[in-house]
Chain A
């Protein structure tokens, strides 16, 4: 049951350009969404969240967009930096208890 999907397993972007990571979900009851970054041999690190009452949330270089009608969210990183190279997971929840994770997108930012 793939309730959360990240269809791009990998993405390469030049330093300074925009990185756009996409995530789709199937459960219309999901009302809370998170993005995590994960380096090898480390646990996921929280990046940014958005609730279903918003369609955009911004934190520094990171912006998350939510399109509820399309059941789609995206993470924009501007400008991309080499240190952003990691695996990015989106996660979704109904009321915040159990989060369903996507399979991740491996971002490589090329200097």
Chain B
């Protein structure tokens, strides 16, 4: 069964450093998302992406964050200058439909900012 893959599974970085989290969505999906889950808290929406543009973003997704689809397969989340509070599990998701039905999630990247 096709799946969303994320790399790396764990990322440790120093505060202030830039990180790039990578995702390969399911190949025929057109709608892409990033969510995150801080330990012990709920899964939170960050951003949705379609047709090489951001469709919607949450308040969390400030100027430190950016997304890119650099080629036909990868979808990346960049955090320009990481803060301690950015430590979380980051999930990439993709969907074949714009209504978000059956979001397929990757297994996540655990980001630890020291």
B partners with A: yes
Which residues on A are within 8 Å of B, measured CB to CB? Answer: 4, 32, 34, 36, 41-46, 49, 89, 91, 93, 95-104
A-side interface mostly: strand
The proximity string for B residues 34-54 relative to A, scoring 1 for CB distances below 8 Å and 0 otherwise, is: 010000011111001000000
B108 at the interface (CB under 8 A from A): yes
Taking A45-B105, A98-B45 as known contacts, 16 extra A-B pairs with beta carbons closer than 8 A to each other, sorted by chain A number, are: A32-B99, A34-B101, A34-B103, A42-B108, A43-B4, A43-B105, A43-B106, A43-B108, A46-B102, A96-B99, A97-B100, A98-B48, A99-B45, A99-B100, A100-B45, A101-B35
A80, B104: Cα distance in complex, Å: 24
Chain B, range 62-114, C-beta contacts under 8 Å to A: 91, 93, 97-108
Q: How far is the CA of A104 from the CA of B42 in the complex (A)?
A: 7
Residues of chain B having any CB pair with chain A under 8 Å: 4, 6, 35, 41-45, 48, 55-56, 58, 91, 93, 97-108
Q: State in angstroms the CA–CA spacing of A43 and B107 once bound together.
A: 4
The complex places the Cα of A95 from the Cα of B98 at a distance, in Å, of 9
A32 (CB) vs chain B CBs: closest residue: B99
